[in-house]
C-alpha cells in the first residue's frame, strides 16, 4: 500500500485497499492466504510526520501443529505506524512494514481449534475424528 503524500487533506483521511498476499509477500511454506488482504488506513499528516493507523484483515490458510490438518483462520491485525517525511518525498510505501508486522505475528504452532486432540503417537490416527484402538 502506497500513500501519496500530496493527496492527504489537512484533516487526514481514510484509505481502503485490497492487496494480494503475493503482492505483500506474506506467504511462506506453512502459511497461505485465501482471497485478498483488506487494509484500512486512517492517515494523518502533521508538517513532516505521517501517522497511520491500520486495520488489516485476511483469511489465512495453514496447517494445524497437532493434527496436521489444513484449516482456515481469520487474521486481524491493528497497527500504528509513524514516518518522518522529507520535503522531497512524494509517497510512502507501507508494504514492507505491514509485511513485517504480520509475519512476526504468525503463530509458531497454529491449532485448528483450542482443544485439538492431535494424532495418536502410536498409530497416527487423527483423534479429533474418534478414538483409535491403541
Ligand atoms: Zn488440529
Ligand atoms: Zn492409536
Q: Report d(CA 95, CA 34) in Å as an integer.
A: 19
Residue 69 sits at φ, ψ, to 5 deg, of -75, 150
89/42: higher pLDDT = 42
In the reported structure, the alpha carbon of residue 70 is separated from the centroid of ligand 2 by a whole-number distance in angstroms of: 21
Q: Using the predicted structure, report yes or no on whether residue 66 has a pLDDT greater than 90.
A: yes
Q: By percentage, how much of the chain surpasses pLDDT 70? A: 100
> When comparing pLDDT for 7 and 94, which is higher?
94
Q: Where are the alpha helices (DSSP H) in 3-132?
A: 95-104
Q: Is 126 helix (H, G, I), strand (E, B) or coil?
A: strand
User: Could you please report the per-residue DSSP string of 16-41?
Assistant: EEEE-TTTTT---SS-EEEEEEEEEE
**Residues in CB range of 57: below 8 A, 6 or more apart:** 37, 38, 74, 75, 76, 77
Q: Is a pLDDT exceeding 90 seen at residue 39? A: yes
The string of pLDDT tens digits covering residues 100-122 is 999 998 988 999 999 999 999 99
Instruction: Give the pLDDT confidence score for residue 47 in this predicted structure.
Output: 83
Mean pLDDT of 96-102: 95
Q: What is the pLDDT of residue 97?
A: 96
| pLDDT of amino acid 88 | 87
User: How many other C-beta atoms lie within 10 A of the C-beta of residue 27?
Assistant: 15
How much distance in Å is there from the Cα of 118 to the middle of ligand 2? Answer: 11
Residues 32, 22 contacting (CB under 8 angstroms) = no
Residues lining ion ligand 2 (Cβ < 5 A) are 120, 122-123, 132, 134
pTM value is: 0.85
The domain segmentation of the chain, as residue ranges, is 2-129
Amino acid at each position: 500500500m502506497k500513500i501519496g503524500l500530496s493527496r492527504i487533506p489537512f484533516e487526514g483521511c481514510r484509505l481502503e485497499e485490497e492487496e494480494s498476499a503475493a503482492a505483500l509477500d506474506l506467504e511462506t511454506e506453512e502459511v497461505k492466504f485465501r482471497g485478498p488482504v483488506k487494509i484500512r488506513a486512517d492517515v494523518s499528516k502533521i508538517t513532516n510526520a505521517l501517522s497511520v493507523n491500520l486495520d488489516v484483515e485476511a483469511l489465512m490458510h495453514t496447517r494445524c501443529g497437532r493434527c496436521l490438518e489444513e484449516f482456515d483462520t481469520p487474521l486481524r491485525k491493528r497497527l500504528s505506524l509513524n514516518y518522518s517525511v522529507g520535503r522531497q518525498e512524494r509517497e510512502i510505501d507501507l508494504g514492507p512494514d505491514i509485511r513485517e508486522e504480520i509475519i512476526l505475528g504468525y503463530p509458531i504452532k497454529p491449532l485448528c481449534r483450542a482443544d485439538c486432540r492431535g494424532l495418536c503417537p502410536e498409530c497416527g490416527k487423527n483423534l479429533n475424528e474418534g478414538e483409535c484402538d491403541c
